[in-house]
Amino acid sequence: MTSPTNKAALPLSLVEMATRQVRSEVLSGALEPGSRVVEETLCARLGISRAPVREALRLLAQQGLVEHLPRRGFRVTVWSSADILQLFELRQVLEQHAIRRALPLDTTHGDPFSGARSALDDMREADARGESLEKDDAHRRFHEAIVGLAGSHQLDLAYAPILLKLQLPMARNLREEARIAKPVDGIRRHAVLLEAVESNDAATASAALKEHGELTYLHLESIC
């Protein structure tokens, strides 16, 4: 009798390859919101079978980057302006709560801010190499590290899906900032926020979060 676990025994590397390809195209803007993601086309382009492509699309749907339409396949998720604003508001609430809960931290036995600092360094390095997907990943890790300072497992669990759903608008904001202003401005904004958090003062860090400007370059009417 076939074990039910065999059904999930797909080559992980192929799933990762397909996931990375579609995710990169969505976050870079190559695939716009509402664009169809055709399984057959993706299979042919990557030279892989349908099973890992379907698993990749399932994972991306969990992240909120694509959505499945009955009898019509997958498309890049279309968020309304209201959806995006609500998600950013929720993110702000959870980050503010994390800061108030976390600071001041005991720094006598280690550096509690090393995770956020490492993520910011990764953002700088990815930006210098022109690796936008790696920069997006480091950007998400940066915010996860800030919330992680609170040391609350339940808070981390509540925060993670919101951050995943915000991948696309966050990536767009950074991309527009690089186009309109300078690529380093996005790095600088996060360095300012980290400096405020490293002050170990909750009021200073809370004020910096309010001024962080994640929506500055995000034209919500263009992604409805």
The residues spanned by each domain of the chain are 4-76, 81-223
Q: For the chain, what is the radius of gyration of the CA atoms? A: 19
At 77-108, the pLDDT tens digits run: 998 889 999 999 999 999 999 999 999 999 99
81-223: CATH topology: Four Helix Bundle (Hemerythrin (Met), subunit A) (1.20.120)
Distances (CA, A) of 181 to 138, 142, 209: 20, 21, 21
Which pTM value belongs to this model? 0.83
User: Given this model, what pLDDT does residue 223 score?
Assistant: 41
Indicate if the pLDDT at residue 65 is higher than 70.
yes
Pick the CATH number of 4-76 from 3.40.50.300, 1.10.10.10, 3.20.20.60, 3.30.360.10: 1.10.10.10
Indicate if the pLDDT at residue 213 is higher than 90.
no
User: Given this model, what pLDDT does residue 171 score?
Assistant: 86
Pairing of strands 66-69, 36-37: unpaired
User: Given this model, what pLDDT does residue 180 score?
Assistant: 81
Q: What is the dihedral of CA 177, 89, 161, 31, to 10 degrees?
A: -40
Q: How confident is the model at residue 11 (pLDDT cuts 50, 70, 90)?
A: low
The two domains 4-76 and 81-223 share their CATH topology (first three levels equal): no
